[in-house]
Structure 1
Amino acid sequence: MLTKGDKILIVCVLLFSIFILFIFYVYGLDKSPTYALIEVNGKLYQKISLGDNGQKLKIEVPGVIGVSVIEVDKNRVRMLDSPCKDKLCVLQGWIEKGGGMIVCLPNRVVVKIIKEKKDEIDGVSF
């Protein structure tokens, strides 16, 4: 049977664990360089360095059905305008974490964020 002290200890450990996870989520420990890759029809169009020292710019990307406008704001990226009918890529909003992706299928424009790893070891390597 759990005593009052056991319950207090369990609650304190859980709160501390949640606090630590929150800190890792907000600040993160990964300081590797982050890039935004813009691809048109499966081919690399432009690679942009992101981060606190990053640029603020708008890029016009010629796609299959027209010109898409991509906005870069230091460490985040979004599709500002696109010639596609539904504009789902525009509604996606800002992406800023590694692995984030915006896809405009009708215009065949893809924006993705990648983190560059220096000594990446896959599951097969020893």
Structure 2
Amino acid sequence: MLDKIKFHLSKMKPLDAVIIVCLFVASFIPHVVYGIQLSQIDEDALVYATVKISGEEVYRVELSEDTPHETMTFYPAEDQYNIIEVDGTRIRNKEDNSPDQIGVRKGWISKPGETAVVLPHELIIEIHAESPDGTEIQDDEEVIIPL
């Protein structure tokens, strides 16, 4: 085992290590940007959760301490269902009949910018922050990457 490590290290050039370190540091950039974005949200901002099915908003709720516990069921198609649960300042996809259960495993979301997605059902739960006058705080620009 030690021989294999020595062999691979002998094949590395000095610039390879620099590139690896740069890529490692760059992998944390999205976390830094998200943290900066969250820090710019005022304490008096209103936090909303929206549930969209096939791009159409079907449910919207303000997430606050006063929001009552609520469970609702959506049927994106005849043989599909999603049970969405709201509990105060958080929301989750409690149960669905999708094959991978990725939306269910995501768990509770509560911070602006977080999403929970169930691709087979085309269901998206998004958290948004709005100023008290009703204007959205975050940029909601869609980024399209050409293939």
The two structures have a TM-score, normalised by structure 1, of: 0.69
> Is 1:46–2:64 an aligned residue pair?
no
- 5+ long unaligned stretches in structure 2: 1-37, 139-147
Is the CA contact (8 Å cut-off) linking 1:83 and 1:107 kept in structure 2? no
Alpha-carbon offset, residue 29 of structure 1: 4.8
Which amino acid in 2 is paired with 1:53?
D
Q: In structure 1, which of residues 35, 50, 56 is the aligned counterpart of residue 69 of structure 2?
A: 56
Which amino acid in 2 is paired with 1:72?
V
Alignment of 1:110-125 (within 5 A): 110-117=124-131, 118=133
Aligned CA RMSD, in angstroms, stands at 2.7
The structure where strand makes up a greater share of residues is 1
Q: Quote the Cα distance in structure 1 between the aligned partners of 2:70 and 2:136.
A: 31
Is the CA contact (8 Å cut-off) linking 1:36 and 1:49 kept in structure 2? yes
Aligned length: 99
Q: Quote the Cα distance in structure 1 between the aligned partners of 2:136 and 2:58.
A: 25
Alignment-derived partner of residue 86 in structure 1? 100
Other structure's SS at 2:104 match: helix
Q: Quote the Cα distance in structure 1 between the aligned partners of 2:113 and 2:83.
A: 21
Q: Quote the Cα distance in structure 2 between the aligned partners of 1:120 and 1:35.
A: 10
C-alpha deviations, 1:16-65, integer Å up to 9, x for none?
A: xxxxxxxx98xx85221111100011001011111011120001111135
Alignment-derived partner of residue 14 in structure 2? none
Alignment-derived partner of residue 32 in structure 1? 45
Alignment-derived partner of residue 118 in structure 2? 104
% identical aligned pairs: 25
Q: Quote the Cα distance in structure 2 between the aligned partners of 1:77 and 1:120.
A: 19
Alignment-derived partner of residue 82 in structure 2? 68
Q: Quote the Cα distance in structure 2 between the aligned partners of 1:60 and 1:108.
A: 15
Change in Cα spacing, 1:120 to 1:113, as seen in structure 2 (3 Å) is closer
Alpha-carbon offset, residue 97 of structure 1: 0.5
